[in-house]
Structure 1
Amino acid sequence: MSKQQNIAITEALLIKYLAGEASPEEALAIDEWVEQTPDNNRLLQQYLQLWSHAGKEGAYTAPDLQRELQRLNIDTSLPTGSRKTPVLRTLFIRRAVAVVFMVALGAALLVFFQPWKTAKAPLMLALTSSNDILRDTLPDHSRVTLAPGSRLEHPASFDGADRTVQLQGEGYFSIAPNASKPFIVRTGTADIKVIGTAFNVKTNKDSVTIAMDNGAVLFFDNHDSVIVKGGMQSVYQVDTHRFSVTKMEGGNDYAYATKTFHFEATRLELVVSALEKAYNVKIVLENKKLADCTITTSFTDMPIQYVMEVITASLSLQYHMEGSTIYVQGNECN
């Protein structure tokens, strides 16, 4: 009697054989067992089909034991006593179908928990202006100027379908044109969508205000939208979700970014406010009545000293600077 004839062909041994873990003696014993009858050979082929099926990749679905048995032409309708299928065969097939479940479930969990398969959120950067005006260039070469106390969050690179940033406070944007990738400014209430233009956005808890320098934008929320063109101004009221669009009176509200001022019969009080914001200085009118003086003039990218010389000379006033504070003296205007 050969050594192989002393090896019992059990379910555990067949599993080792299919997994390639059987010893040479065990493999020879199974080979001899297969050659003994056509039924044994056919049974092994059916086991191999189940094993191959269990190793296939794919989305997880719960195994259907009856379907698997029927798919392999194994009769499941006969009473237990009349089946010709050996008990070993039935037990193995049922357990092999269970292997399908375990392998598929394990593969599904592996795919789910693999960190390299998970889409990563883009790296976000933040620009924050504290007490000074901040100027910077975004990854798409668009330029942004932030008023003091403002914050802008943007991705390190605009790799998605659009160029989206998040603004808190006030910022002036000069957008690099890109028709296939719109630029979107989110404010938390109403948003602005542009392709290429220059505009100013000012946000607070009650409203969002857009002042258009040139071009056009879509100003929208979840309920409504308006198109705002160059030379126009739009205000969105947070509580009512309403937009208003009016003609803009000059562009001095965003002169902090452009350093371009247009004053036409403008009260000195408003002139002072625009200059303080643009140059980050404090201007004190020592005679309060000077606030009602009016002036018509323009400046483009001039130093504050030059601007003050022109204004005070035009109104017959005097000024002096102490650090970042400018004091203006003189009689009230006629």
Structure 2
Amino acid sequence: MDPSKYHLSDFLEDDSFRKWALEVPSAEYDQWQKHFAASPGMQKNMLEARQLIRDLKDAQAIPADKELEEKIWRSVQPRKARISILTVFKVAASVTILAGLFGYYWYTKSPFGPNVSLLAVEIVQSNDSQQTRTVALEDGTQVQLSPGSSIHYGETFNRSDRRVVLEGEAFFDVARNPEKPFLVIANGLVTRVLGTSFTVSSNEREVSVSVKTGRVEVISQENYERLKDADKRQSATMVLKPNQMAVFSKKEASLTRALVAEPLIVNPSARPATLSFDNTPATEVFDRLADAYNIEIIYDPDTFSQCRLTVSLEDDQLFEKLDVICRTFNAEYRLSDAKILIEGKGCKF
């Protein structure tokens, strides 16, 4: 294509131009110098594209995300009304050099690390529909993208690592690979797994991770980057099991653990009949529930030593079961750090 007909996005997609912008020696370097000197009509777009590439190259030195965005927009659109930076990514559909360049900033500020080349293409998978969209990744992982959500990953995905950036919400069914942990980076939180299924949901205020199967590790992005020592990083990592979730508050930089809204039976040996009780002692009732849902239930055996239960709870949700049990046992339950605490006066005859 004739460079005199280039738009801004064309310059950004041209490998030889990017090298010229970064003053990297190449066979075409002198030719771009001549274009710049001899074509005043091209200079504006060339200068804007060069400034954008250099700004993103120097992104690590900029202290805040907002400052980076403002600087880019001042250089790229000095006289135009400000629009969402996501609009820029639509220049060349879902896979663009612009997305790759902006992705470089996120990579260098996240666990993608500084080894990702500025010139690496970033792949963007988006869901602009009103239904869930399933995306199949190269490693066999299935991602169910919620409406309005997107994932970003490098073209080298599954070669050296498995890392994605999530905007919005998605359910991940990760193909197991102990040699290459799967990382999801979402708004300040890093989720690390080997092979499992879980949901990540992020917005401007917080990020939540809910586990369906397997084991999931979560850590703030700041700690992931700051703590290079494996033991120190491990101490700052929260491990989640099925039916557990973590909530990361970006404002307070806090990470808390809780139970998911509707826990599911995860023990394959826990048949529905196991949750049908016939004059069953309280200790057995609590133990059956704990085993079926893989949730720790804490109670005082002495307090509930005289309590027995006769009822079928096969079709009820966990918290509905607990409501019935607690009314029968003259007790109440509360949740703390993904555990269920049973407190009350117990049964007296």
Alignment TM class, shorter chain as reference = 0.3 to 0.5
Q: Return the TM-score normalized by structure 2.
A: 0.38
When the two structures are superposed, what TM-score results if normalisation uses the length of structure 1? Answer: 0.39
